[in-house]
Structure 1
Amino acid sequence: MILVTGASGTVGRLVLDRLPADLDVRALTRNPSRITTTRPRTDIAQGDYADQASLERALRGVRGALLVTNRVTSDDDARFLAAARAAGVQHIVKLSAAAVQDPDANDVITSWQRTNEELLRASGIAWTLLRPRAFMSNTLSWASSIRSEGVVRALYGTAANVCVDPRDIADVAVEALTGSGHHGQAYTLTGPEAVSAVQQTGVLARVLGIPLRFEELSPDDAVTAWSLRYPEALAKALLHSAERQRAGAKREMDPTVSVVTGRPARSYATWAADHAGSFAALGGTEWAPESEPVRSPATGTA
């Protein structure tokens, strides 16, 4: 039995649909109505990291698990790992963030992720760490302004990030959960090239077949907007992340997606073409934290 936590989230739902159909899988979620998978041999478990009894039920008979947590500064990882040890789980694939490797990334989000990685490594359970850069799907947050104004607004528009397609993260996660040779590995996951918000705007204009204008946000405007949605510490973390990106900390491509999956990582142009309908259908999206507990539409935190 494989357990997928965060099963209705950006990566979790993709992992759920990609796991081989002959495997028994359990999907853990706070809201079972959001699970839309049609795969066979799938058990839907309602639960929460803060609910010990629900964790124990979800982990019963599980040999491997995908661990996704997103409540920054919470002890969700510690709770899950304690329950997993008690249940005899043999292997955990943890969704973390690439920023943990950057000594200059000392914000509250990255520090929390580092602590969670340390907890897993010290747990006595075999582990694999997935460390993605920002998700390409973060740009879905531009859908509303694209549709209503033909505008993309972001901070530091020429700062580039080797953002990654969530499908590539999911493919690596499935390999780690079902294949061999992944125990004790930490995988940095990126796209094939660094792209900026300005470049992404150009890609979207071509894919959607409409003229788009890019407008640069000032740091003050960005922090003000983030502060309406997030606590102050998270808004500051997003600004710190954006400043690291502007300094070039997120430009380096890593070949791991290709090495693990046997095929090239998907480009932003490919992702955009495959999701063009979402920009027409959505009025904007709230962040759906997976690899990074908060992902800014402008930059991401990893």
Structure 2
Amino acid sequence: MSLCVAVAGAGGTVGRHLTALLAADHDVLSLTRSPERAARLGVRGRLVRADFDVRDGLVRALEGADALFVATFDPADPRHDEHLLSAATTAGIRHVVKLSALAVTDPGAQDLVTRWQRECEQLWQGSAMTWTLLRARAFMSNSLSWAGAVRAGEPVPTLYGDAPNACVDPADVAEVAAHALTGTGHSGRVYALTGPRAVSAREQLAQLADLLQRPLKLEDLAAHQALTRWSARYPLPVAQALLESAGRQAAGAKASVTQDVLQVTGRPPTTFETWARRHLSAFR
């Protein structure tokens, strides 16, 4: 049965994959702050301008949608989920799939970002809609931040380069989301999404080196150096949260692997090598 599915955060890492998966069989409302940028990125569906800072206009943007995917990105501003929830309730949306993070299950994770993710989960769980939560480990695509250094032949700066992380392909997360949005049996379910095994940044870089057929070097950062770099890109509380998260990874908190991608999609999760092979042009 064809549905109308709204994707909030359609221009994001998971949203772009999701709109492509849904567009063949469903009507897709791709909500984005900048439809022009979304068009350049190849986002599929009907591009709908939406500002999550402002509730006004979101009800109109969601009109006619049966289900909603939510990916929000500002831990310093909880209004985004609040506004989307209010608008979705008014618009009569029946089911929501919320992108969250696996860190919410770690009692030791009390940083700003993880506390915000827990609050967002509770918000949607307390709504009148049915819901599905997708708790993802770090995205394999985060390694795209290395592309400039790799192309220039420079060392890749990394904090705790030997710390394992069961990172996941965002395309796998999108495929799980598509099933949860359009299939049955997903209401009230919480899916923990990881890759097939934990890999460190050093291992990822070694796999990239093999594929590129040239040596690559990793530069080990001290914690204060990493904080300085992150503070140049993010507000200080977010940068501090990233530092706390990296510390938990170094302690092994992100190494466990789940089978939920296989359970939902019927296929094993993508390996980092496979992901890297598909994105190798970014590093050349």
Asked if TM exceeds 0.5, the reply is: yes
Q: CA deviation at 1:184?
A: 0.3
8 Å CA contact retained: 1:128, 1:176: yes
Partner of 1:120: 124
Q: Which one of the candidate residues 193, 200, 212 is aligned to 1:208?
A: 212
Q: CA deviation at 1:73?
A: 2.7
For residues 158 and 43 of structure 2, the distance between their equivalents in structure 1, rounded to whole angstroms, comes to 37
Q: Which one of the candidate residues 25, 43, 46 is aligned to 2:46?
A: 43
Instruction: Kindly report structure 1 stretches of 4+ aligned residues shifted beyond 6 Å.
Output: none
Q: Secondary structure at the match of 2:134?
A: strand
8 Å CA contact retained: 1:150, 1:211: no
User: How many residues were matched structurally?
Assistant: 278
8 Å CA contact retained: 2:19, 2:43: no
Partner of 2:261: 257
Partner of 2:75: 72
Which one scores higher on RCO, CA 8 angstroms, separation ≥ 6? 1
Deviations 1:145-204 (A, max 9, x none): 111134221000110000000110010000001110000011110000000011011001
Q: Which one of the candidate residues 15, 19, 42 is aligned to 1:16?
A: 19
8 Å CA contact retained: 1:46, 1:54: no
Q: Secondary structure at the match of 1:8?
A: coil
Q: CA deviation at 1:12?
A: 0.3
Partner of 1:292: none
2:258 aligned partner, one-letter code:
D
For residues 151 and 91 of structure 1, the distance between their equivalents in structure 2, rounded to whole angstroms, comes to 46
**Identity across aligned pairs (percent)?**
49
8 Å CA contact retained: 2:166, 2:194: yes
Q: CA deviation at 1:34?
A: 2.2
Partner of 1:234: 238
Residues 168-247 of structure 1 aligned to structure 2 (within 5 Å)? 168-247=172-251
For residues 51 and 277 of structure 2, the distance between their equivalents in structure 1, rounded to whole angstroms, comes to 35
TM-score, with length taken from structure 2: 0.95
Deviations 1:82-137 (A, max 9, x none): 11111111000000100001010000000000000000000111000001000000
Partner of 1:2: 5
Q: Secondary structure at the match of 2:84?
A: helix
Q: CA deviation at 1:52?
A: 2.3
Q: Which one of the candidate residues 134, 139, 147 is aligned to 1:135?
A: 139
2:72 aligned partner, one-letter code:
T
Partner of 1:107: 111
For residues 157 and 35 of structure 1, the distance between their equivalents in structure 2, rounded to whole angstroms, comes to 33
Alignment pair present for 1:31 and 2:34? yes
1:258 aligned partner, one-letter code:
L
For residues 172 and 54 of structure 1, the distance between their equivalents in structure 2, rounded to whole angstroms, comes to 29
2:88 aligned partner, one-letter code:
A
For residues 141 and 20 of structure 1, the distance between their equivalents in structure 2, rounded to whole angstroms, comes to 29
CA RMSD of aligned residues (A): 1.1
The unaligned stretches of length 5 or more in structure 2 are: none
2:19 aligned partner, one-letter code:
L
The unaligned stretches of length 5 or more in structure 1 are: 281-302
For residues 88 and 5 of structure 2, the distance between their equivalents in structure 1, rounded to whole angstroms, comes to 12
Q: CA deviation at 1:20?
A: 5.0
Q: CA deviation at 1:227?
A: 1.2
Greater CA deviation, 178-187 or 150-159?
Answer: 150-159
Compared CA separation, residues 20 and 144, structure 1 to 2 (3 A):
closer
